[in-house]
Amino acid sequence: GDSVTQMEGPVTLSEEAFLTINCTYTATGYPSLFWYVQYPGEGLQLLLKATKADDKGSNKGFEATYRKETTSFHLEKGSVQVSDSAVYFCALSEGTGGFKTIFGAGTRLFVKA
């Protein structure tokens, strides 16, 4: 079945450091890919998404490119801030007649001032 694997955390960075959180997926078809972010004590919110191969999703300085050849959707940001501290979830969705979203286990990011 479909699955999402993302790097284990926690990831601890200093402010202004470069961030990469790896995500790879397994799917039978051509899924849409998402990154969601969860701030402490809150629900998830969409960070960015990509719907087809070579698409790049971007938002708030974060980027991820849909790489079909490597089945990956790595999240990157050039310069993190303390306010980026959160848990990041990679996810995929595909299918017809009822879409199920598969979430990765989440990667916790701590950014130190």
Partner 1 sequence: DGGITQSPKYLFRKEGQNVTLSCEQNLNHDAMYWYRQDPGQGLRLIYYSQIVNDFQKGDIAEGYSVSREKKESFPLTVTSAQKNPTAFYLCASSMEREAADTQYFGPGTRLTVL
| Contacts with partner 1, residue ranges (CB under 8 A) | 4, 31-32, 34, 36, 41-46, 49, 51, 89, 93-95, 98-101, 103-106
Nearer to partner 1 by Cβ, of 18 and 30: the residue is 30
Nearer to partner 1 by Cβ, of 63 and 103: the residue is 103
In whole angstroms, give the CA distance from residue 16 to residue 12. 12
Helix and strand counts by DSSP (H, E) for the chain: 0, 12
DSSP string across 17-60: --EEE-EEEE-SS--EEEEEEE-TTS-EEEEEEE-STT-EEEET
What's the chain's length in residues?
113
Distance in Å, CB of 80 to partner 1, minimum: 22
Distance in Å, CB of 33 to partner 1, minimum: 9
Nearer to partner 1 by Cβ, of 55 and 63: the residue is 55
Distance in Å, CB of 76 to partner 1, minimum: 21
Distance in Å, CB of 92 to partner 1, minimum: 9
In whole angstroms, give the CA distance from residue 8 to residue 71. 18
Maximum C-alpha span of the chain: 47
Nearer to partner 1 by Cβ, of 45 and 79: the residue is 45
